Amino acid sequence: MSLDKKTKRKYQGQAQQLKPTVMIGDKGLTGAVQQEIDRALNDHELIKIRISGTDRGGRQQICQAICAAQAAELIQTIGHVATFYRKAQTG
């Protein structure tokens, strides 16, 4: 899944009003955190995640891991906050 620039901009605008739904702390991307991200994406489709306790390179690796594990698209990152989108899975 790859969103076009126009769609990404639309989601960036919608994300401005969102608060981070999931927080990733010093323990990193654990199984429980992955489950919470999956639940949040199913419930909301567009979510923000706060990634603390790591440097910029570490945050990028975590974002890539989330995209791969959740089949989600990274919309944007600003500081320690990343915005992800995944169409809700029906069924």
Within-domain flag for 10: yes
Within-domain flag for 91: no
**Domain of residue 64, CATH code:** 3.30.110.60
90 CB-contact burial (10 Å; exposed 0-12 / middle 13-18 / buried 19+) = exposed
What is d(CA 68, CA 26) in angstroms, rounded to the nearest whole number?
A: 21
pLDDT tens by residue, the chain, 91 residues: 689 999 999 999 999 999 999 999 989 999 999 999 999 999 999 999 999 988 999 999 999 999 999 999 999 999 999 999 999 876 5
What is d(CA 35, CA 58) in angstroms, rounded to the nearest whole number?
A: 20
Which residue range forms the structural domain that includes residue 25? 5-85
Give pLDDT, residue 35. Answer: 97
Within-domain flag for 18: yes
Cα separation values, 55 from 27, 29, 59, 81, Å? 14, 14, 6, 13
Within-domain flag for 90: no
Provide the whole-model pTM: 0.94
Q: Could you give the number of structural domains in the chain?
A: 1
